[in-house]
Structure 1
């Protein structure tokens, strides 16, 4: 920001203090209420409560250190401060970021512990939750380490005169900014996932719509924290303003505190149910039928630590949320609770020591990567036009926000279908894969929004390009899988043969190898100026987009082969619904995917154009139509077309090489068929006997 006589004495200090202490005071009040409920009312203080308390302490420390910084001039222009106050303000601000990062990282661990306690996910999903949160925590810790190792010696971070005197060296601030943007994007993704996951479980419960909406809203407030993390990423550029650091980073300080407080508040809201009942005299998320007196102490709704519960159960139902039916326990009416204690009072979580050990390993890897990047050079800005061009805030942010909401809805819908089917013993993995595709598109839109705010950031441009190109392959594979199942049903002798099965496996494997090659060359193109290397990279890119276009087209001839089958009466049925619906669904999806892949392949084969003279197919309209628009249409078709019902096949079909179910089922069917034939023969003999008797009676004697 240019400093003039009019803004020389601008001071953001009072604004910083107002935002920080207002939100932190509210957060402290809510956390105190949570601690009172969990310790005094419920007497069930868990590890998630400890983590929230620690997070609140870090938040208060962040406010305290920032307040001290404001008292010496932080929030004012650097030119207005003397050297001593300037160095002290920068020192306090640097230290405050340590507490700020921890204050929005630790609550994610607490939320994960709470979700594992009240939703009781299966082992696989529990591992996914901890993997996501552990990754976010690890990345945040690395961000802290990068912050304090930017200069050698570290005191040059705040004693800026050392660099001018040549007594210290500092790395480019964009190293920290780029990594912080990545950290913020991952943090936003984790917050969003933790907000969506409870909804997929709660929507299938047998309770009133009002209760389900209330529960989803209570456990889904983390989506707001995700939005705060994205906004915070747009303020990270202030770290590069070394000439006016105390004024340029003021907004970043406020948004860091806002994100941390929103995460803590969102994690505490679901635990305040007993307090709301005390205030309003009724349950917000459930209903009581107990008499007067102490409703919580000794209540079956909040069982003690000795309460026996199968923590690894995958069965879905009220017990997944800890909703205890008292009719089965005490003979009283049903009673619902959102926060019971777990089986042993212990949380299945990682120790902090384990996380620190992981951090050490990743820090060493990061250091090696940075050294390798220095040797390679770059990243370099692209010199040729690309589809979508450089994003702009006025156009790309609103569009990406719309697609972000659509893919969030798609992810929630397909995960809900997957879990509902799984509860009925109907394991349909493609629904989970579609959920994974939606999550990849969510990340792609978040990164593109971040890139829009930092349009000159080449690293974000590379990440955006990779996520846009890689995610759609999941849809290619799914549609090809559905076509393969149809071929096996119509031509079982060919479709189940080992050569054909091996050919499909090779196709799927080559897709994985090709995407790795494409991602590698996309990164390498930005880090080299060697013309021969660039030529090889372009050849690999052309091969990749061409192969992907072929994969998207393959289901169409397979469907045609199914339609031309002369043995339609002997088709091996699978799933539900008519064959016409199956054919139309795969054909429609194949046409949409082939359209997008063909457009990308065709534009890639066109002669490169300079970035200052793009063609019509490089426009933003083409980018969003042939990428995200077609993708969300396919996701919607899979959902509305209920592929989970139409293309479901019995488990273990690939081993027995048919879709008729297990051998026992076949035996039962044959037995039932034989009994039916016997009954039919007996009926026929009886009719014949009746006819014979009738003729005898009709003959004259």
Structure 2
């Protein structure tokens, strides 16, 4: 491959950019899996989903390399028909793995949200966006595979029934940006309603809205698609769109991993993310006790909290007379939350509901 790329600087540049960003995404996925499987020891379906997305992103980079080897970045009139056909075959495969990677990454982020935010309204919104992502991904993958009937007509250019490729690209790109924007803003209303100071709210919003950077990359990619669609020499002008497609896939994977790497950073670089205090207020019954799930003594983390209703055996040095009063008790519990200490404090009231708090793992 190297000998062909030496005489194809545009294709070589696209392949190098794709390789660099894919390697970065692979590093972030590796760190994420290390945190989930070995530090907090609580992997979820979303971790397997992002791993599959990473495999698709690697496949996309390989397809871009094959396209560059077989003529992407060179003028169409300089290519032999056989070389052009091989390049189109790689292009056809790259479109499929590109959409699979995006869909799996978005699904992983939504499953991650579902683990963290447990309110009913949020889960309804999350499920609606998830349904849109699943439908969009199925459509884009199937439309990419069967864009021509018979399928081989995509690269052989034989007479066939084919979808308008330019229209398909722009419709898919528009829906893609819409879903990415929806995912980026989905948790913001819930975070704003939390009883936290403004600094903590802004920090949480920044963590979850980092996916908005993917929207910016998608818009840049859309601009490169416009250039290719208006080009009279698409093989020469396609490297930019190919490179940005790979960057979009890799950046999406990186953004989905970033919120989960705090335990690793606080363990290896404690001065970068020092311990901080967090206060949560809630009303609960006086006979509610706190328990933790999935504790690890060696890591000294407590990741999830749930409230279990149990009667408290009360003892009194004075009168043992039962009182049917609306007693309010302030409880304060100091815990370590994934490398940083957190504090739970709340008013416990017999007329209030029991709530559940899940922290990011």
Q: 1:121 to 1:188 in 2, by over 3 A?
A: farther
Query: Out of 64, 67, 90, which is 2:65 matched to?
Result: 67
C-alpha change, 1:113 and 1:65, in structure 2 (3 Å) is same
- C-alpha displacement of 1:241: 6.5
Residue equivalent to 1:23: 21
Distance 2:171 2:161 in 1: 21
Within a 5 Å distance, the mapping from 1:644-655 to structure 2 comes to none
Q: Structure 1 residues 240, 283: CA separation in 2 closer, same or farther (over 3 Å shift)?
A: closer
Q: Relative to 1, partners in 2 of residues 1:285 and 1:135: Cα closer, same or farther, differing over 3 Å?
A: farther
Distance 1:249 1:186 in 2: 22
1:288 positional shift: 7.4
Q: 1:169 to 1:338 in 2, by over 3 A?
A: farther
- Structure 2 residue 138 is matched with structure 1 residue 141: yes
Q: Which residue of 2 aligns with 1:188?
A: 177
> Which protein shows a greater Rg?
1
Compare the two structures and name the one with the higher helix fraction: 1
Residues 78-89 of structure 1: matches in 2 within 5 Å? 78-89=76-87
What CA distance in whole angstroms lies between the structure 2 residues aligned with 1:300 and 1:46?
A: 18
Residue 149 (structure 2) aligns with: 152
Contiguous gaps of at least 5 residues in structure 1? 1-8, 163-167, 311-326, 340-423, 426-701
* Greater RCO (CA < 8 Å, at least 6 residues apart): 2
Rounded Cα–Cα distance in structure 1 between residues aligned with 2:230 and 2:337: 54
1:110 alignment counterpart: 108
User: What is the CA deviation profile of residues 119-142 of structure 1, one whole-angstrom value per residue up to 9, with x for unaligned ones?
Assistant: 2131x4313222223213322322
What is the rounded CA distance, in whole Å, between the counterparts of 1:237 and 1:297 in structure 2? 54
Distance in 2, Cα, partners of 1:145 & 1:245: 24
Whether 2:208 is the aligned partner of 1:213: answer no
Q: In structure 1, what is the Cα distance between the partners aligned to 2:86 and 2:210? A: 37
- What is the Cα deviation at residue 145 of structure 1? 2.2
Q: What SS does the corresponding residue of 1:12 show, helix, strand or coil?
A: helix
Quick one: which of 125, 131, 155 aligns to 1:128?
125
Aligned pair in 2 of structure 1 residues 91, 115: CA closer, same or farther (>3 Å)? same
Q: CA deviation at 1:209?
A: 3.6
Q: CA deviation at 1:98?
A: 0.7
Tell me, yes or no, if structure 1 residue 258 matches structure 2 residue 247. yes
Q: Distance in 2 between matches of 1:243 and 1:171?
A: 20
- Whole-angstrom CA distance in 2 between matches of 1:215 and 1:249: 38
In the alignment, which residue of structure 1 is the partner of 2:90? 92
Aligned residues: 299
Q: TM-score, normalised by structure 1?
A: 0.39
Over aligned residue pairs, what C-alpha RMSD do you find? 3.2
- Alpha-carbon displacement from aligned partner over 1:163-200 (angstroms, at most 9, x marks no partner): xxxxx22436xx33323322222222222222223222
* Alpha-carbon shift at residue 210 of structure 1 (Å): 3.4
Cα offset, 1:110, TM superposition: 0.7
Task: Name the CA distance, whole Å, in 2 between partners of 1:108 and 1:282.
Answer: 32
Tell me: CA distance 1:142–1:258, structure 2 relative to 1, closer, same or farther (3 Å): same
Quick one: structure 1 residues 286 and 197, their matched pair in 2 at CA, closer, same or farther if it must change by over 3 Å? Answer: farther
Match of 2:162 in 1: 171
Corresponding residue for residue 405 of structure 1: none
Looking at structure 1, the residues matched to 276 and 297 of structure 2 have their Cα atoms a distance apart, in angstroms, of: 13
Q: CA deviation at 1:112?
A: 0.6
Which sections of structure 2, spanning at least 5 residues, go unmatched?
1-6, 279-294, 309-329, 341-351, 354-361
Matched, 1:333 2:330: no
Higher strand fraction: Structure 1 or Structure 2? 2
Work out the CA distance in 2 between the residues paired with 1:131 and 1:58.
25
**Kept in 1: contact 2:266–2:274 (CA 8 A):** no
- Give the drift of 1:87: 0.7
The verdict on how the C-alpha distance between 1:224 and 1:111 changes in structure 2, with shifts beyond 3 A counting, is same
